[in-house]
Structure 1
């Protein structure tokens, strides 16, 4: 019975104890980890995407996306406090819903982390190009800075940064650890500066019409469609739960880190969105010469933006460095360039955390025998899982080279939303199955919160563009083929090995550039 392969909770906890990762992260460090993972391309770049889909109504989109994440965070917190182990939703599903569904959830998380890293790489590329233009007046040819969907051939800056971060994670240098801690502060400072400069000069007339595309339009347009895309701006908070095995007093600190990081980022996002909408650029969607709405990431929008740029006008929806562009239009040219510089410097830390998160997912799945154990081999010199990291980096690089940031974000969201639904179901099932088990953190109003999580996630998924919706079932089908071809037979649980061997239990030490900054 495939669905009957449920790994006992106590066995999972014993495996974590054998593995014995160094527990060094506290509540503040976890919150910083969450903020570092969350604040990135979503707010620095996808503000343009949201403006094209919803106009000023993207304010409501941020509220909707944040609300869905909030209820999902409450569900995550209960499970993470009960099961302070690596693997996030994959591990929780293994303990509650069985091996095959756990594999599918883990496979969806792989989609989330890898494609998210690609999206951030493309976002970084936009700011890199903007820095060359803003500081040095250098214009790079479109063919080399955008993929085919955006009117180019290949996004070379995105390829460069994805490969650089992959190499950094393989090497595991201490220097990058200290830098990564500083980058979190740079991102928060940059958003604070933007808010301080943009809010006082808001033009309230820019908020009308507030919902030019309505609530739910064609192909992901409208307030709900924008919420489905801008959901990416919150992706990353679940990376906190993947660090549970390396956390001091996880029963207390994991919930604080999850909810604290989400709350901090939500406040920033609402203020930043208001500043962008109220700027001279406004946030009304770009239309064709015939007045037709153009989908984000489409060749039509790219061509229209090129036409408008030739006329000396670049709307918010066309900008690849939205926040820097807003400040330049307000009149703060140097501050705009500095905001761009901050994003240029800070976004690589998000790529790092996302690739790190996927390598940890692969490691845990390999530890359970569902993937070849060779994949999680630790490099003898650098002490990092170099094979997994290299494979992940190549996949991230290929996606970043050819796809626009909006399409990548929507694909990543599909995987994330599926994992969140699984988490909500796990909390409810486990509460009924083992009501007396110790729960350091209990999700309040569980049935209401879990139901809201499932309904919210399904609603956002159905509001994604059709092609993004289809990626998830296709990806899941590929995952099932892999599972039945290898994982079903090689599974430790299926072979009666409920607990792994001592030699298999020793995970590689987490990449120093992720762990050590938060020890400072």
Structure 2
């Protein structure tokens, strides 16, 4: 048996240098400012989780769903600190994949990238699945006509083939290949629209607020709150997508941490207000299990389909913006993995005309349109949640490894209450993983095993880092040491 040797690690300095290399025309341009980055973050977060998934969280936790949202938010905050420091120290497009490569080694990095297929790729499918439900609500309010359930609902909810899910993924792909500037502008507009719609929902729903609807509060006990938090966590997935834009952000060491914190604050406030307003307007039993709950609530409160149509319009815009932002993140992660030789070369190619990874984008669109069309929503949501939580465990460990391995690294942000904060982040993520249930653990274990096999058969053999001494003219290569500490200030 061949010895594995020490872990293959890329220093932050080498990751940054490699990301800036334009040897084959795959460079990206820094065009995004703080406002655009915040809008991109909000665009990646607010969507199916609150517009479609709220009813699932309510079904688990009852009126205590507000506590579930807060619990999920606290988990995100601890991990957001770690993402902010890592994103500031290593401002490249690979997000948690690159962070793991710099701190824990290539094998862990590949498995993180593999899990990111769940957080970004599969979540595109999950988000797109919910688009058809609100599209029908909008069509019903505008023209009194709906798409047949067989062609607009997820399998398991009366659907056979979810055509709207495929359409929204295709539209996002078209916009992404046109260029990051156009995508950022579209995301900013859509982010403003959906925040305005959620604020409007709260204003309408609070008119019918009844305090009695919140009693009894924790109808399913602590276990229900935990399960509700695991479901509600899906509503927060996407804030880390901000770090995937590391190579296209102006002043990333300052703007990435700031954008992460602003996004978490905005989204947590919005979600808690929406949850209280929803349960206050209708009882938890009436909200639970309703796929387009927000439109239903507004229709009941206003006794008209017009208000529900406005909410449905907001949901259609919101979910489309999430598909756009998350697909963007997935393509940038695959680009980083391709640069390292861990996946085929086609994913790193960028069009010199649009400065976007065109082939990469269309491959992602086609591959993840399939589960969006034919896979039941609950399976996709649970796998996305556990995959994301596992990544966040690694990120919290990675920030500790960064401090220990690269002393003196230049970061625009430092985790407060270190090392308590990342340790609590790990604990909170493991707690929510526990709440996903054993069937989800089993599916995730199989997924990891498949990833390990892919790495052994392809990634390890084709790694450019392993070939560095031969290909780059020496053991250190042109960008500094292949393993070991980064240069201080890198």
**TM surpasses 0.5:** yes
Question: Paired residue for 2:486?
Answer: none
Question: Paired residue for 1:37?
Answer: 44
Cα-to-partner distance string for 1:122-181 (whole Å, 9 max, x where unaligned): 111110111222232224433222233223322222222223323443454976654332
Change in 2 beyond 3 A, CA 1:416/1:24: same
Question: Paired residue for 2:114?
Answer: 107
Determine which of 304, 324, 329 is the counterpart of 1:352: 324
Counterpart Cα distance in 1 of 2:80 and 2:6: 26
Change in 2 beyond 3 A, CA 1:80/1:124: same
Counterpart Cα distance in 2 of 1:438 and 1:377: 30
Cα-to-partner distance string for 1:327-380 (whole Å, 9 max, x where unaligned): 111116322211111211332111011111111111100001111112333346
CA contact (8 A) 1:146 1:404 kept: no
1:63 Cα offset (Å): 0.3
Determine which of 54, 57, 62 is the counterpart of 1:47: 54
Q: Does 1:77 align with 2:77?
A: no
User: Over aligned residues, Cα RMSD in angstroms?
Assistant: 2.2
Q: Does 1:4 align with 2:11?
A: no
Counterpart Cα distance in 1 of 2:97 and 2:372: 26
Change in 2 beyond 3 A, CA 1:196/1:90: same
Question: Paired residue for 1:126?
Answer: 133
Cα-to-partner distance string for 1:56-100 (whole Å, 9 max, x where unaligned): 111100000000000000011111111111101110110111100
Determine which of 258, 261, 268 is the counterpart of 1:259: 261
Q: Does 1:320 align with 2:291?
A: yes
Q: Does 1:89 align with 2:96?
A: yes
Which deviates more from structure 2 when the two are superposed, residues 100-109 or residues 426-435?
Answer: 426-435
1:491 Cα offset (Å): 0.5
Q: Which ranges in structure 2 are unaligned for 5 or more consecutive residues?
A: 479-490
Q: Does 1:147 align with 2:154?
A: yes
Alignment TM-score, normalising by the size of structure 2: 0.90
Question: Paired residue for 1:463?
Answer: 435
CA contact (8 A) 1:367 1:500 kept: no
Counterpart Cα distance in 1 of 2:151 and 2:218: 35
Counterpart Cα distance in 2 of 1:470 and 1:497: 40
Q: Does 1:203 align with 2:207?
A: no
Question: Paired residue for 2:166?
Answer: 159
CA contact (8 A) 2:85 2:415 kept: yes
SS in structure 2 of the partner of residue 90 of structure 1:
helix
Question: Paired residue for 1:453?
Answer: 425
1:468 Cα offset (Å): 2.5
CA contact (8 A) 1:93 1:426 kept: yes
SS in structure 2 of the partner of residue 149 of structure 1:
coil
Change in 2 beyond 3 A, CA 1:248/1:498: farther
Counterpart Cα distance in 1 of 2:70 and 2:157: 29
CA contact (8 A) 2:154 2:377 kept: no
Counterpart Cα distance in 2 of 1:498 and 1:359: 29
Change in 2 beyond 3 A, CA 1:438/1:386: closer
SS in structure 1 of the partner of residue 413 of structure 2:
coil
CA contact (8 A) 2:40 2:187 kept: no
Which deviates more from structure 2 when the two are superposed, residues 133-142 or residues 484-493?
Answer: 133-142
Q: Which ranges in structure 1 are unaligned for 5 or more consecutive residues?
A: 217-221, 285-314, 506-520
Question: Paired residue for 2:19?
Answer: 16
Alignment TM-score, normalising by the size of structure 1: 0.85
SS in structure 1 of the partner of residue 284 of structure 2:
coil
Determine which of 421, 427, 431 is the counterpart of 2:403: 431
Question: Paired residue for 2:482?
Answer: none
1:457 Cα offset (Å): 0.7
Which runs of structure 2 are paired with 1:261-300 in the superposition (5 Å)?
261-279=263-281, 281-284=282-285
Counterpart Cα distance in 2 of 1:116 and 1:478: 19
Counterpart Cα distance in 1 of 2:20 and 2:183: 29
CA contact (8 A) 1:206 1:282 kept: yes
